[in-house]
Every structure is written in C-alpha cells, then in structure tokens.
Structure 1
Amino acid sequence: MVRPKVHDEALRDRLLRHALERVSADGMPALSLRALAAECDTSTTAVYSLFGGKAGLLTALFDEALRRFRAHLAVPPGNDTLDDLVQLALAYRQGALAQPHLFEVVFDGDPQELASGAALAPLREFVQRAVEDDAVRPDLDPATAALALWATVHGWVCLQLRGLLPPGAESRFEDALRSVTAGWAAAAP
C-alpha cells in the first residue's frame, strides 16, 4: 500500500510564501526555521523533507526573489533606444526599492554570477539595440556600456537603500542616468 504524502507541494508553497513574506518584511536575520514551521502549522521536518534543509530553502528563496526582480526588468522596448536604457534603469531601481530585502537576497547570496547575469542581460540587449539603431557613438563597446550603466544604477540603489545618498539625491536619479546615456549618444547628422 502506498503511503500518503505528508509534505506536499501545497505545504512547500506555503512555507516558501511565508519565508518570502518574513524576509521581505524583516530581512534574512528574521528567518527562523522553527518560527516558519510554526507559522505554517507544521514542523521543521517538513522544511527538511521539502527543501533538504535551510540551504535548500535559501536556494528556493533566491530563485523566487530573482524571478520577481527579473519581472521588474521586463521593460518593453520603445522607439527611442537611449530612453529605453533610462526606462530599464528606472525599473531596476523601482524593483529594488519595492522589495529591498528580496533585492538583498538576490545580490548578497552565493549565486551572485546568476544575479549579475540577470541584471546585465537586459542592459546588454538594450545597449546592443542602441548600437544597431546608430543611436550611440560607433566606438562605444556595448559590454562596457552595459557594465557602466549597471554600476551606476546598482551603486545608486545600494547607496539609497543604506541611506547614504545626500539629501534630495533620490530625485536626481533620472538626471544622472540621462547624463550617462547622453555621453554615449551618436553625433547628430
């Protein structure tokens, strides 16, 4: 006779959802397996059975946080490829500020190469479109431009999340982005 599953996908989803809520509200230090299990009316055995332990739960948290962050980066291309870069950068910042603790999960965890790739891929794609549209200088290296824009955006966001920007700087973010992209613009014919 087949034994019924005690720890099913519904419980896995509930544990992950509660873990995400806890981390979103209070950061990673607030995540306790015992507290999580109690919130979900189960035992820590369920976490081990469904995730293989805390490390597996953290991997699932990273995957979901990365999925949510990528959703913010799903900016549809428009008619102005330089403006598209600015819009993508604004979306990056919005995603980080909307769920700062999940942003930290994405960029402070072990699989940082994956997070970096997820952040850089859309930037590379948009810079490449700008190159193909002759919107940027012909000597501009797309990989360097994408990295420079990511460093600008990510650095700004990290400073903002830690409260290290000078007063009023939050309102100058778009101006800073437009300054960077204006330096890349192709000369007018």
Structure 2
Amino acid sequence: MARPKVHDEALRNRLLDCALERVCADGVPALRLRSLAAECGTSTTAVYSLFGGKAGLLRALFDEALQQFRAHLAVTPGGDSLDDLVRLALAYRRGALEQPHLFEVVFDRDTPGLASDAALAPLREFVERAIKDDALRPDIDPSTAALALWATVHGWVSLQLRGLLPPGAETRFEDVLRCVTAGWAPAQRTL
C-alpha cells in the first residue's frame, strides 16, 4: 500500500499564497519560514519538502510575481500605436504601485533575466508596431527604444515607490512618456 502524501499540492499552494500575502504586506524580509508554516498549520519540514527550503520558496514567489507582472502588461493594441505604448507604460506603473512588494520580488537583483525580458518584450513589440505604423521613425532600433522606454518607466516607478519624486511629479508621468516618444517621431513632411 502506498504511503499517503503528507505534503501535497494543496499545501504547496496554501504556503505559496500565504507567502505572497506576507510579502505583499510587509516585503521579502518579513518572510520567516517558521511563522509561515505555523500560519498554514504545518511545519518547516513541509516548506523544505515542497520547495527545497527558503531559496526554493523565493523562486516560486518570483515565478508567481512574474506571472502577475506579465498579466499587468497584457495590454491589447488599439488603433493608435503611440497611445498603446503609453498605455503599456501606464500599466507597468499601475502594477508596480498596486503591488510594490511583488514588483520588488520581480526585480530583485538576485533574480535571473526573466524580469527584464518580461518588461522589454512587450515594449519592443509595441515599438516595432509604432515603427510599422509610421508613428515612429523607421531608423529607430526597436530594442534600443524599448530599453530607453523601460529605463524611463522603471526609473520613474522606482523613484515614486521610494518617495523621491518632486512634489506633484506623479501627475506628469504620461507627459514624460509622450516627450520621450516625441523625440522618435518622424519628421513632418513639407509640401
């Protein structure tokens, strides 16, 4: 007769959900295995059995946070490719401000390049579309433009989350994005 599985998928999901709640509320430093296990009615042995320890749990948290971050970036293209770029940047900012601790998990310096790929891929796609639609100059390198936009958006969000923006600046985010993209606009034709 097979032994019943004590540490099953339901417990794994419960531990992960509780860990996400704790990180969302108090940040990664507040995550303690003993208190997490106690909150889920189990022992730290379950965490080690299901995740291999705290590092594995943090990796699972990263995967979940990255999935949620990607969901924020699921912006459906509309009729104006420049407006779409702005909407994508606004979605990035909104996701970071709504769940700053998950944003921190995604962009923790110990995580692999998956986070930058998750941020850059949609930006590059939208920049390519804007070039194709003649909304941006054809000589613009999509990868470079996407990187510049990401640096602008991520830098802004990082400053805003740390309270380092000048008073009232948070209302000018969209204007900043439009200034950046205006620098890549095609030259106006003269007749």
TM range (shorter): over 0.9
Residue number in structure 2 paired with 1:45: 45
- 1:58 maps to 58
Matched, 1:121 2:117: no
Deviation of the 1:109 alpha carbon: 4.3
Give, as a single letter, the amino acid of the residue that structure 1 aligns with 2:133: D
Structure 2 counterparts to residues 75-154 of structure 1, below 5 A: 75-154=75-154
AA aligned opposite 1:177: L
Please list every run of 5 or more consecutive structure 2 residues that lacks an aligned counterpart in the other structure. Answer: none
Contact 1:62 1:109 in 2 (8 A): no
Provide the secondary structure at the position in 2 that maps to 1:108. Answer: coil
Alignment partner, residue 20 of structure 1: 20
1:131 shift after superposition: 1.1
Q: Deviation per CA, 1:122-163, whole angstroms, max 9, x where unpaired?
A: 000000001111111122111111000000000000000000
- What is the rounded CA distance, in whole Å, between the counterparts of 1:146 and 1:12 in structure 2? 37
Q: Distance in 2 between matches of 1:27 and 1:54?
A: 15
Q: After TM superposition, give the deviation of residue 112 of structure 1 in Å.
A: 3.5
2:3 is aligned with 1:3: yes
Q: Would the alpha carbon gap of residues 106 and 78 (structure 1) be closer, same or farther in structure 2, given more than 3 Å must change?
A: same
TM-score, length basis structure 1: 0.98
Q: Secondary structure at the match of 2:113?
A: helix
Per mean C-alpha deviation after superposition, the further-off stretch among 128-137 and 32-41 is: 128-137
Encode CA deviations 1:20-61: one digit per residue, 9 max, x unaligned: 000000001110000000000000000001111111100000
TM normalised by structure 2 equals 0.97
What's the Cα RMSD here?
Answer: 0.9
> What is residue 184 of structure 1 aligned with on the other side?
184
What's the offset of the Cα at 1:187? 2.8
The AA in structure 1 aligned to 2:118 is A
Find the aligned partners of 1:181 and 1:49 in 2 and give their Cα distance.
Answer: 49
